[in-house]
A and B are shown apart, each in its own frame.
Chain A
């Protein structure tokens, strides 16, 4: 007679054989289990429990390959790239969990583009708010030319609010990711300010402009309007699936409308998984001092260095 334990072990091993993809790729046998589950579920009431947040799973550690030749080696290799590796398949298609995560990350990315920076943040930071000629997000994404222009009313606001000729004019723009601004701006601005002190420099935190529907070349117009020596422009980057919160800094020495792109100095990839905002701010401060010292930016600055 087989006892209970042995019986259980036998069943487990038979089940394993059945579901082992190395023994068969056939899906028909595997299907039975979920059906049973469903029957169970129909008789139960909804509970107050919340399912795990799939967006909190670290993709670099998520590993779904059932029988890897070298699990440890795979995980190690996976840790070296943010690429979605080791997530296995169902037939030739994706596993449900990885597919859902992909969709969640895409949703976050799209929302970052098509949402606005919150009014509360703009107020809290005491930004001077202006907007380009784009009337909505839809026009913004299809008309890059309008995202760099201001109407007379906005021009008047800028001229009234920015007094004198600032040495360093800081601008914040929503760009293609409002989420990037919300995630980083509060940390980067004080860091820039602190860093500038090391070089006996400063900017006026009461005169920071916030531009809605902003494209990068909008900074050139601001440069012309304020006659600032340095324009330092923090703007949301086009989001990817890895993060929707990546911000860039564009800096230029005396920017003017129509100047070559090569005159901008760019620091991209500012987010929690890239260069931390605080550290980027410290770096930007040093860049500003170099630009003022050499009276150059972009490629011209690289050449003199």
Chain B
């Protein structure tokens, strides 16, 4: 009884914008004699949009109307109706996400990704998504090895380290192909990113806006950028600008990184002929060439990425959606739920008395109160490997009393359990709530504080819910 769902991924990057539509196949992996276990068994990309430069109005303002127009056009080309989309993710990445207007852009876009989700990406999430889209995680699993993926875009390089399928760490550097933009005809510099300005000053390089440049002029700067990326996986001597280029953090450098892979636009530049070094009006081609000569290529095993410039969008479209366990409880009226911040009980809270659990829930809700206005949250708990009926009953009582204020406001409740408890716990909560109260209690999904969660409409005769967990804080 396979069923499919459509997932859309939209990547709004510093330099380019694109979308993909993926078909995810869900199948029951359990025998006919046990409780169903629904898994995503196949992922197929149905449609890849063309790649456009992210339309900007003024220097740093995204032109939302043009993006809407682009998406309309792409939906028409794909033959997929927006209403058919079950779930998906919009990823606003790199410098774009930091623009003041990112929030309003997202609001303007929400209808364009179907009736679901809008996600903002922090650099960590972006690294993970790109690494998955590039196939680094899959390779690490197949070959039982460690792989670092460098997703080198226009403004940032997002790094994810996988070992035998497990995600170990992420990092991000402000290094990309469009840190310097050059007018193709005149070869004049038209933009220099602020951090590069700093380097130029300190290194006393003669690179100024308006100046005509040759590849040779840029060489010292490119060498620094490449050295920082080498440093990122522990190669070479520490460059003095290493710290400067860190966006949020570097890798914690576990001992042996065996393989590296590259995605993002710059990864397409490695093997291009250098007939016109400024073909794209930036330093991407030259950066690519420089990387080819680097220690990364000489000292690590370079594996071929499944996706390069599309890694992030494919990751967003195909690798962000999970499905819940198949024994869950919800009222359909509560769905879909979008962008709920996760409040996770600590182990000691969860194993505490009813009073402790109830208090913890009450206190944590206050964290999310902005200007005395409360926000809906999703409660994350670990659950029990083999609960007694009493344990479930106590937990349900504590949760309902912890959310008394939310219940008074008629806010839907969302309970996200890791272990297989959600049907019993949901029924227990149901019996303690007012009649027909909207709530979702699902399991099979692990969340942490700092995550945001989207829950889509039910699938497979209502037995499972599609879920996107957006990990914004990464341990």
Q: Please tell me whether chains A and B touch each other in their complex, using a CB distance cut-off of 8 A.
A: yes
Question: Which residues of A does B touch, CB under 8 Å?
Answer: 70, 72-73, 76, 186-187, 190-191, 194-195, 197-198, 248, 266-269, 272-283, 285-286, 305
Measured between C-beta atoms, what is the minimum distance from A297 to chain B in Å? Answer: 13
Known A-B contacts: A266-B33, A269-B35, A285-B427. Give 10 more (CB < 8 A).
A191-B427, A248-B33, A269-B33, A275-B35, A275-B327, A275-B420, A279-B424, A282-B424, A282-B427, A283-B327
C-beta contact mask, B411-437 vs A, less than 8 Å → 1, else 0? 000000000111110111011000000
The complex places the Cα of A274 from the Cα of B423 at a distance, in Å, of 15
Most buried by B among A267, A279, A305: A279
The complex places the Cα of A191 from the Cα of B390 at a distance, in Å, of 10
Q: Does B392 reach chain A (CB closer than 8 Å)?
A: yes
B385–A282 CB distance below 8 A: no
Set of chain B residues within 8 Å of A282, measured between Cβ atoms: 327, 329, 423-424, 426-427
Identity of the chain B residue whose Cβ is nearest the Cβ of A272 in the assembled complex: B386
Query: Contacts A194-B428, A267-B33, A275-B34: A286 and B423 contacting too (C-beta < 8 A)?
Result: yes
A278–B387 CB distance below 8 A: yes
Which residue in B34, B144, B420 is a CB contact (below 8 Å) of A70?
A: B144
Q: Does B59 reach chain A (CB closer than 8 Å)?
A: no
Q: Does B389 reach chain A (CB closer than 8 Å)?
A: yes
B144–A73 CB distance below 8 A: yes
A187–B33 CB distance below 8 A: no
Q: Does B275 reach chain A (CB closer than 8 Å)?
A: no
Measured between C-beta atoms, what is the minimum distance from B223 to chain A in Å? Answer: 37
Set of chain A residues within 8 Å of B393, measured between Cβ atoms: 194
Most buried by A among B164, B392, B421: B392
For the complex of A and B, list the 7 residue pairs with the smallest distance between their C-beta atoms, beginning with the closest: A272-B386, A282-B423, A282-B424, A278-B424, A266-B33, A190-B389, A268-B33
A267–B420 CB distance below 8 A: no
Identity of the chain B residue whose Cβ is nearest the Cβ of A287 in the assembled complex: B35
Instruction: Tally the A-B contacts, defined by beta carbons under 8 Å.
Output: 84
Q: Does B371 reach chain A (CB closer than 8 Å)?
A: no
- Find residues 379-406 in chain B having any chain A CB closer than 8 Å to their own CB: 384-389, 392-393
C-beta contact mask, B42-73 vs A, less than 8 Å → 1, else 0? 00000000000000000000000000000000
Q: Does B202 reach chain A (CB closer than 8 Å)?
A: no
A276–B427 CB distance below 8 A: no
Measured between C-beta atoms, what is the minimum distance from B391 to chain A in Å? Answer: 8
C-beta contact mask, B356-396 vs A, less than 8 Å → 1, else 0? 00000000000000000000000000001111110011000
The complex places the Cα of A276 from the Cα of B421 at a distance, in Å, of 8
Measured between C-beta atoms, what is the minimum distance from A56 to chain B in Å? Answer: 15
Measured between C-beta atoms, what is the minimum distance from A208 to chain B in Å? Answer: 15
In this complex, the interface size class of chain B, counting residues with CB under 8 Å from chain A, is 20 to 34
A276–B386 CB distance below 8 A: yes
Measured between C-beta atoms, what is the minimum distance from B465 to chain A in Å? Answer: 15
Identity of the chain B residue whose Cβ is nearest the Cβ of A72 in the assembled complex: B164
The complex places the Cα of A70 from the Cα of B145 at a distance, in Å, of 11
Set of chain B residues within 8 Å of A268, measured between Cβ atoms: 33-34
Set of chain A residues within 8 Å of B421, measured between Cβ atoms: 276, 278-279
Q: Does B461 reach chain A (CB closer than 8 Å)?
A: yes
A197–B327 CB distance below 8 A: no
Query: Contacts A269-B34, A282-B423, A282-B424: A198 and B387 contacting too (C-beta < 8 A)?
Result: no
Set of chain A residues within 8 Å of B144, measured between Cβ atoms: 70, 73
Measured between C-beta atoms, what is the minimum distance from B132 to chain A in Å? Answer: 19
Set of chain B residues within 8 Å of A248, measured between Cβ atoms: 33
A73–B164 CB distance below 8 A: yes
Most buried by A among B393, B421, B423: B423
Which residue in A197, A283, A305 is a CB contact (below 8 Å) of B423?
A: A283
The complex places the Cα of A277 from the Cα of B144 at a distance, in Å, of 36
Query: Contacts A73-B164, A198-B431: A279 and B423 contacting too (C-beta < 8 A)?
Result: yes
The complex places the Cα of A274 from the Cα of B389 at a distance, in Å, of 16
Question: Which residues of B does A touch, CB under 8 Å?
Answer: 32-35, 144, 164, 327, 329, 384-389, 392-393, 420-424, 426-428, 430-431, 461
The complex places the Cα of A275 from the Cα of B422 at a distance, in Å, of 12
The complex places the Cα of A89 from the Cα of B393 at a distance, in Å, of 47
Identity of the chain B residue whose Cβ is nearest the Cβ of A276 in the assembled complex: B386
Contacts A/B (CB < 8 Å), 19 sampled:
A76-B164, A187-B388, A187-B389, A191-B392, A194-B428, A195-B423, A198-B329, A248-B33, A267-B33, A267-B35, A268-B34, A276-B384, A276-B387, A279-B387, A281-B389, A282-B423, A282-B424, A283-B327, A286-B423
Set of chain A residues within 8 Å of B426, measured between Cβ atoms: 282
Identity of the chain A residue whose Cβ is nearest the Cβ of B387 in the assembled complex: A278
Identity of the chain B residue whose Cβ is nearest the Cβ of A299 in the assembled complex: B32
Set of chain B residues within 8 Å of A197, measured between Cβ atoms: 427, 431
The complex places the Cα of A213 from the Cα of B423 at a distance, in Å, of 32
Query: Contacts A198-B431, A266-B33: A276 and B389 contacting too (C-beta < 8 A)?
Result: no
The complex places the Cα of A76 from the Cα of B461 at a distance, in Å, of 34
Measured between C-beta atoms, what is the minimum distance from B326 to chain A in Å? Answer: 9
Set of chain A residues within 8 Å of B34, measured between Cβ atoms: 267-269, 274-275
Set of chain A residues within 8 Å of B386, measured between Cβ atoms: 272-273, 276-277
Identity of the chain B residue whose Cβ is nearest the Cβ of A77 in the assembled complex: B144
B420–A279 CB distance below 8 A: yes
Measured between C-beta atoms, what is the minimum distance from A199 to chain B in Å? Answer: 10
The complex places the Cα of A282 from the Cα of B164 at a distance, in Å, of 36
Measured between C-beta atoms, what is the minimum distance from B2 to chain A in Å? Answer: 15
Measured between C-beta atoms, what is the minimum distance from A107 to chain B in Å? Answer: 22
Identity of the chain A residue whose Cβ is nearest the Cβ of B325 in the assembled complex: A279
The complex places the Cα of A281 from the Cα of B144 at a distance, in Å, of 39
Identity of the chain B residue whose Cβ is nearest the Cβ of A76 in the assembled complex: B164
The complex places the Cα of A191 from the Cα of B424 at a distance, in Å, of 7
The complex places the Cα of A286 from the Cα of B431 at a distance, in Å, of 14
Query: Contacts A275-B420, A276-B420, A278-B424: A283 and B388 contacting too (C-beta < 8 A)?
Result: no
Set of chain A residues within 8 Å of B384, measured between Cβ atoms: 276
The complex places the Cα of A286 from the Cα of B423 at a distance, in Å, of 10
B35–A278 CB distance below 8 A: no
The complex places the Cα of A266 from the Cα of B36 at a distance, in Å, of 11
